[in-house]
Amino acid sequence: MKLLTLNFLTCARKTCKSSPAAFPLHPRDAELEQVETEMNPVFLRNILPRLEWEAMRSITTELGLPSLPAETPDPGALLENDGNGDGEDAGSAGPSQIARDLHALLMETCIASGKLVCGNCGHEYAVKEGIANFLLPSHMV
């Protein structure tokens, strides 16, 4: 499961939905793998502002990965040689190192196996072969 997905996951239990501690889920005993994925600079530029940046930073820290920048990068920072930093001329400039690093971290770094833990109720969801299983045992429904 690519790290980006963690931005969109919470505990599945209804009672946890209203608790801020239920997001983000915390990876535990995670085995990571890099899955090469074609870079889509337009997609990256659009999705960065939609992320809960602090939550994603805390996840990269928990996993012992290179930290995300302190703040969401501006569109201009995603392009090589963007002199005035406004993100224009997207057609001619290639992706910057920052963009490549973000792509590698968010889109290519995947949790192959491990657990995702709810910070509110402590329930652990298993990840196997890159797929997380959010089915709840009947007593927890």
Partner 1 sequence: MDVDRAKGETYEEQHVHGVYEQIASHFSSTRYKPWPIIERFLKELPDGAIGLDVGCGNGKYLSVNRDIFIVGSDRSSNLATIAKRHAPHSVLVADLLHLPHPLHTFDFAISIAVVHHLSTPERRVEALESILQTLAPNGKALLTVWALEQEGSRRGWTEGDDQDVMVPCVMRGSKKGAARGEEVGGGGEDRVFSRYYHLYRKGELEGDVERAGGEVVEGGWERDNWWVVARPRVML
Among 41-49, 57-65, 73-81, 90-98, which window interacts with partner 1 (CB under 8 A)? 41-49
Q: Residues 74 to 113: which contact partner 1 by CB under 8 A?
A: 107
Examine residue 12 and tell whether it contacts partner 1 (CB under 8 A).
yes
Nearest residue (CB) to partner 1, 70 versus 141 = 141
Among 26-34, 67-75, 83-91, 133-141, which window interacts with partner 1 (CB under 8 A)? 133-141
The C-alpha atoms of residue 88 and residue 32 are separated, in whole angstroms, by 35
Examine residue 21 and tell whether it contacts partner 1 (CB under 8 A).
no
- Residue found under tokens 């290179």: 66
Among 7-15, 65-73, 74-82, 91-99, which window interacts with partner 1 (CB under 8 A)? 7-15
Q: How far, CA to CA in Å, does 85 sit from each of 93, 106, 115?
A: 12, 23, 40
The C-alpha atoms of residue 115 and residue 130 are separated, in whole angstroms, by 11
Torsion angle defined by CA atoms of residues 123, 126, 130 and 132, in that order, rounded to the nearest 10 degrees = -50
# chain residues binding partner 1, by CB under 8 A: 34
Give yes or no for a contact between 66 and 60, defined as CB atoms under 8 angstroms apart: yes
Examine residue 134 and tell whether it contacts partner 1 (CB under 8 A).
yes
**Of 68, 27, 28, 34, the residue nearest 48 (C-alpha):** 68
> Considering only residues 65, 90, 104, 136, which one is a binding residue for partner 1 as defined by CB under 8 A?
136
* Coil, strand or helix at 125: strand
Query: Which residues of the shown chain bind partner 1 in the complex (CB under 8 A)?
Result: 1-2, 4-5, 8-14, 17, 23, 35, 37-38, 40, 42-43, 45-47, 50, 107, 125, 129-136, 141
